[in-house]
C-alpha cells in the first residue's frame, strides 16, 4: 500500500497511458471503492488558498498574480505563490503547521476509518492539491495508512526550503477538467489497473466530492456506483441542474457532513454485509452525530 501510494504521488507526471498488465491469476476479489476529493471534502478549506493567504494582501492582489490565476493554469499559479512565500522567508515548518491546523469537514475522519476498517472499502484520494499538503494533514490525523493510493500534484521542499510543485499530468482531451488533472481518467485507470494487475473488481464505486472538477469522474461511473456530492456546493448544483443532459448513470447521494454521508451509506442495501444489530447501532450513532454537526454549523457566530 505504501509503495503504491508513493509511486502514485511522486511519479504522477510520468503516469502511463495504459495500465501495466500482469497474469491476473488467482481468485478474483470483489471489493468496494471510495474515491475522495480533498479540499472542501475531507478538509473544510482549500489547502492552496489557506497557504496563499500567508502572503501580504498587496502581493496576493498584484496584477502579476491575478493575471497568472486567470490564465487557468492553477499549478503554475501555486508555484509562483510558493516562490513568493520563500522570498518572504516563510519557513517550511510554518507552512506545515498551517496545513495541520485545517479542520476536517465534520465526521470525515470517522467516515474514513469506518469505511476502511468496518466495511472493507479500498480508499483513494484524487485531488488538485499537492502531495506535501495531503501527506501532512493525513499524518496529523492518523490517516496515513487509510488510503490505498493518492493521486495529486507531486510536490517537495527543495534544498533551499522552497516548496516545488509539478502537474499530475498534462491533458487536453477532457474539457470538464484542468489541464494538469483529469480526475475521471485517474479513477477509470485505477479501477482498470486493479482488475488487470491484481484481480480486484469493485462491485460499487463511491466518488465523494464538492467542486466542478469532480463532475468528470462521476459521469464515468456505472449504474451500480454512487456519486456523492456535497450539499450547497458546485458539484451538487451542476448535477441537479443538468442531470438529464449529463446522463448521470450513478445513483446520487447529497451529503452535508461525514456523519450524514456515513448514515446514508450504512442504510444502502448494497452495503448490508454486516449484522443488522451493528448496522442499526452505526446508523443511529451517525444520525445523532449528523444532527449535532448540522446544528453546530447553523448556529449564529459568537459576538
Q: Residues at the annotated binding site for Mg(2+)?
A: 37, 39, 210
Known binding-site positions for substrate? 48, 128
**Alpha-carbon 50 to chain mean position:** 17
Angle of helix 63-70 relative to helix 74-87, nearest 10 degrees? 150
CA 211-248-5 angle, 5° bins = 55
Classified as helix, coil or strand, 170 is: coil
CA distance 97 to 87: 19
Distance CA 111, CA 230 (A): 14
Greatest CA separation for the chain: 64
Tell me, yes or no, if 135 is annotated catalytic.
no
Residue 257 belongs to what H/E stretch?
none
What phi, psi does 6 have (nearest 5°)? Answer: -65, -40
Q: Is 37 a catalytic residue?
A: yes
Which candidate, 112, 190, 110, places its Cα nearest to that of 150? 190
Closest by CA to 23, choosing from 202, 200, 201, 198, is 198
Neighbour count for residue 67 (Cβ, 10 Å): 10
| Phi, psi dihedral angles at 143 (to 5 degrees) | -120, 10
The cell numbers describing 25, all together, are: 491469476
Closest residue by Cα to residue 82 from 52, 53, 61: 52
Pull the grid cell for residue 58.
498587496
Beta strands per DSSP E along the chain: 29-36, 121-130, 149-153, 155-157, 163-165, 200-209, 226-230, 251-255
Q: Which of 39, 135, 225, 260 is catalytic?
A: 39
Annotated binding-site positions: 37, 39, 48, 128, 210
Catalytic residues: 37, 39
Amino acid at each position: 500500500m505504501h509503495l503504491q501510494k508513493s509511486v502514485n504521488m511522486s511519479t504522477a507526471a510520468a503516469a502511463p497511458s495504459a495500465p501495466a498488465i500482469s497474469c491476473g491469476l488467482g481468485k478474483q476479489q470483489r471489493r468496494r471503492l471510495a474515491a475522495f476529493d480533498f479540499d472542501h471534502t475531507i478538509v473544510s478549506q482549500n489547502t492552496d488558498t489557506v497557504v496563499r493567504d500567508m502572503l501580504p494582501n498587496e502581493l496576493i492582489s498584484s496584477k502579476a498574480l491575478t493575471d497568472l490565476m486567470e490564465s487557468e493554469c492553477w499549478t503554475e499559479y501555486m508555484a509562483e505563490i510558493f516562490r513568493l512565500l520563500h522570498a518572504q522567508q516563510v519557513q517550511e515548518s510554518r507552512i506545515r503547521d498551517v496545513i495541520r491546523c485545517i479542520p476536517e469537514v465534520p465526521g470525515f475522519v470517522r467516515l474514513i476509518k469506518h469505511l476502511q476498517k468496518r466495511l472493507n472499502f479500498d480508499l483513494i484520494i484524487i485531488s488538485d492539491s499537492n502531495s506535501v499538503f495531503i501527506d501532512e494533514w493525513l499524518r496529523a490525523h492518523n490517516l496515513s495508512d487509510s488510503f490505498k493510493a493518492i493521486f495529486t500534484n507531486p510536490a517537495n521542499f527543495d534544498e533551499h526550503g522552497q516548496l516545488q510543485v509539478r502537474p499530475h499530468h498534462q491533458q487536453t482531451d477532457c474539457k470538464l477538467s484542468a489541464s494538469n488533472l483529469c480526475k475521471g481518467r485517474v479513477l477509470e485507470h485505477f479501477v482498470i489497473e486493479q482488475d488487470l494487475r491484481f484481480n480486484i473488481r469493485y462491485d460499487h464505486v463511491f466518488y465523494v466530492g464538492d467542486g466542478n472538477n469532480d463532475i468528470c469522474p462521476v459521469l464515468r461511473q456505472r449504474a451500480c456506483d454512487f456519486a456523492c456530492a456535497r450539499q450547497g456546493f458546485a458539484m451538487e448544483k451542476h448535477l441537479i441542474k443538468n442531470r438529464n443532459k449529463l446522463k448521470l448513470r450513478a445513483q446520487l447521494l447529497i451529503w452535508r457532513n461525514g456523519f450524514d454521508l456515513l448514515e446514508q451509506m450504512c442504510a444502502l442495501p448494497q452495503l448490508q454485509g454486516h449484522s443488522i444489530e451493528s448496522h442499526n447501532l452505526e446508523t443511529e450513532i451517525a444520525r445523532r452525530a449528523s444532527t449535532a454537526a448540522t446544528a453546530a454549523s447553523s448556529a449564529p457566530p459568537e459576538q
